Structure 1
Amino acid sequence: MKDDRFSAIRQHLYSSGYSSIQEIAEAVGASPATIRRDLLALEAEGAISRTHGGARIAESAGIEVAFEVREQRNLSAKRAIGDAAFETIAPHSAIFLDAGTTVLQVARRIRLNPLPLSVFTNCVTVAQVLMDVRDLKITLLGGHLRPQNASMVGSLAEEMLDRLWFDRLFLGAGAIAEDCCVYSLDEEEARLNEKMLSRATVKSLLVDSSKFGQRLTYKVARLTRDVGIITDDGLSAAWESRLREASCELNVVSSAVNDNTSAAARA
């Protein structure tokens, strides 16, 4: 019950922005006293920021919004990017899906339209989405769990990658800065992402347009001509020009979502 209430509070704050304690209580069907206690716990997790009489989703540098809330951000763009990435997958190939929320949409599309694949991932959520899908062989990297991103990271995960090679890598990004480098909030995840890029024949960066022009703490890698980028049509003309000047293979997709596909993907 508490976990369900926490999730409902996070989703309400994501959808509505700043809300008073009374508004949150009415939205989730709990008393104001219960909501005050819940907000204290959620603030301790780094998921929300309390203010006098209310709260909002935490957005400050160094704090990650809970995975299930971040998945909903720019969802139509992420689904369009996921659809475009899915169309590049060949049956009977070995692919790696990392722990980004945009990459998760590729997993949801594979579940919707299964094809025979060997799927490797360091994301617990991706493994859960695909674990009962026919014709798939799923391998989850070892390591220790980073709960903020539902990802396996660390030296064990890195050592496992050294023994593997993939036909395609689908990699997300926390931020892409003006220096045309990919950045992450977490040091271990940045190191693992860099290793992923060295273990695939075809490398695709799946990133919605809101991530461009941002910078986080740890550098993953510089964008190069052998890393394709799939993003949405919210990408600015200046950034599109910058990426093409850097010889990046760029695929800009429409963020308009087919309602039937979206409904099926949610099923």
Structure 2
Amino acid sequence: MLPDERRNFIYSHLHQYARVTIGDLAKLLDVSHMTIRRDVQFMENEGKVTVISGGVKLNEAVKQELPYVEKALLHHRSKRHIGAVAEMLVESGQVIYLDAGTTTYEIARCIAAKLKKITIITNDFTISDFLMKMPHVNLFHTGGQVDMRNRSCVGNSAAQFIRGLNIDIAFISTSSWDIEHGLSTPDEGKAQVKQAVLASARRNILVTDSSKYGKYGMFHICPLAQLTDIIYDDRLSDEIENRLRLLPIRLHKAISQ
């Protein structure tokens, strides 16, 4: 395995487990401890990870999101449960925005299965491709600059399209959020799209698994108080949940069965 391939594996693995020991990585990749130490040092210099005693963890400051294909493999069960909770908030006849992401893709799957006649706007090519097969869905894609890594459109052109709409419910994804930083992203083009959605939607719902909490990107999107709801999985700590309950936001916990 080439060094770049090892580092991509390590970065993806950390998105699933948050932190891992040098020894475990050496076993998983069948290389020496010294090789892993060189890899994680290189990644720390890139700002992606932080080296800790005996191991490595994700850097709280997110520099780059994982590609769509890799994100789709992570926390899939939690995303399905979040999708089911989100679908229950949608009524026939509504105009819905689905932000780009693998969690919102699960929402699209749940909505499609219930055969509700709705209008869906999205900037995500995977979601739009899936919904093209659903005759009961009136589908719009934002267009705009194509982010090939994440199979979506970003930037001012996509944001401008969204600003001309009146949206009933927006389901917003994120790579990083917490109470102090609100929603953020390492990508300026994504920030423009999400801010346009927040301004155009009557109800803004963050959909996120707990692995995204406690991280932040360079570009601030909004404080949590600007949201109306958060749908999250059942792995947030009690302390964080109690702090979230102090905010003027409706909370929906997706319980794993």
TM-score range, shorter chain: 0.7 to 0.9
Match of 2:36 in 1: none
Taking a change above 3 Å as real, the CA distance of residues 172 and 22 of structure 1, as seen in their structure-2 partners, is closer
Instruction: Kindly indicate whether residue 138 of structure 2 is the aligned counterpart of residue 132 of structure 1.
Output: no
Distance 2:162 2:90 in 1: 20
Superposition RMSD in Å: 3.0
Query: Quick check: 1:212–1:239 contact (8 Å CA) kept in 2?
Result: no
Opposite residue 190 of structure 1, the aligned amino acid is A
Q: Is the 8 A contact 2:63 2:186 kept in 1?
A: yes
TM-score, reference length from structure 1: 0.73
Correspondence 1:79-94 to 2 at 5 A:
79-94=80-95
Q: 1:247, CA displacement in angstroms? A: 2.1
Distance 1:255 1:198 in 2: 32
For the residue of structure 1 that corresponds to 2:149, the secondary structure is: helix
Q: Which runs of 5+ in 1 are unaligned?
A: 1-5, 24-45, 47-58, 257-267
4+ residue runs over 4 A deviation:
13-23
Residue identity matched to 1:110: I
* 1:209-228 to 2 correspondences below 5 Å: 209-224=210-225, 226-228=227-229
The Cα shift of 1:111 comes to 2.9
- The 1:19–1:107 alpha-carbon spacing in structure 2 relative to 1, beyond 3 Å, is farther
The Cα shift of 1:184 comes to 0.9
The Cα offsets for residues 138-179 of structure 1, whole Å up to 9 and x where unpaired, read as: 100021101222111122111111210111100011111341
The equivalent residue for 1:165 is 166
Identity over aligned residues, as a percent? 26
TM-score normalised by length of structure 2: 0.76
State the partner residue of 1:253.
254
Aligned to 1:181: 182
Deviation of residue 19 (structure 1)? 7.6
* Residue 212 of structure 1, CA deviation: 1.3
Q: Find the counterpart in structure 2 of residue 232 from structure 1.
A: 233
**What SS class does the counterpart of residue 224 from structure 1 fall into?**
helix
For residues 185 and 101 of structure 1, the distance between their equivalents in structure 2, rounded to whole angstroms, comes to 17
Deviation at 1:180, TM superposition (A): 4.8
Aligned residues: 219
Q: CA contact under 8 A between 2:68 and 2:101: conserved in structure 1?
A: no
- Matching residue of 1:111: 112
CA contact 1:111–1:129 (8 Å) conserved in 2: no
**Does structure 2 conserve the Cα–Cα contact (< 8 Å) formed by 1:173 and 1:207?**
yes
Separation in 1, partners of 2:144, 2:151: 12
Q: Is the 8 A contact 1:130 1:138 kept in 2?
A: yes
Q: CA deviation at 1:183?
A: 0.8
Question: Could you report, residue by residue, the CA deviation over 1:99-147 in whole angstroms, capped at 9, with x for unpaired residues?
Answer: 0221111012123332211110011111011111121111000211012
Secondary structure of the residue aligned to 1:202 is strand
Counterpart Cα distance in 1 of 2:208 and 2:28: 34
Question: Does the 8 Å contact 2:163/2:199 carry over to 1?
Answer: no
- Are the counterparts in 1 of residues 181 and 220 from structure 2 also a CA contact under 8 Å? no
Question: CA distance change for structure 1 residues 223 and 22 in 2, over 3 Å: closer, same or farther?
Answer: closer
What are the superposed Cα offsets for residues 64-87 of structure 1, whole Å, 9 maximum, x if unpaired? 322122122111111111100001
Instruction: Name the CA shift for 1:123/1:231 in 2 (closer, same or farther; >3 Å).
Output: same
Counterpart secondary structure, 1:145: strand
- Indicate conservation of the 8 Å contact 1:184/1:216, yes or no: yes
| Contact preservation (8 Å) 1:80, 1:253 | yes
Q: Could you report, residue by residue, the CA deviation over 1:25-51 in whole angstroms, capped at 9, with x for unpaired residues?
A: xxxxxxxxxxxxxxxxxxxxx9xxxxx
| Match of residue 263 from structure 1 | none
Report the Cα offset of residue 235 of structure 1: 1.1
Aligned partner letter, 2:186: L
Q: Supply the distance in 1 between the matched residues of 2:228 and 2:251 (Cα, whole angstroms).
A: 9
Looking at structure 2, the residues matched to 209 and 20 of structure 1 have their Cα atoms a distance apart, in angstroms, of 27
Residues 40-59 of structure 1 mapped to structure 2, 5 A cutoff: none
Deviates more, 1:151-160 or 1:82-91: 151-160
Residue 149 of structure 1: aligned partner: 150
| 1:72 lines up with 2:68 in the alignment | no
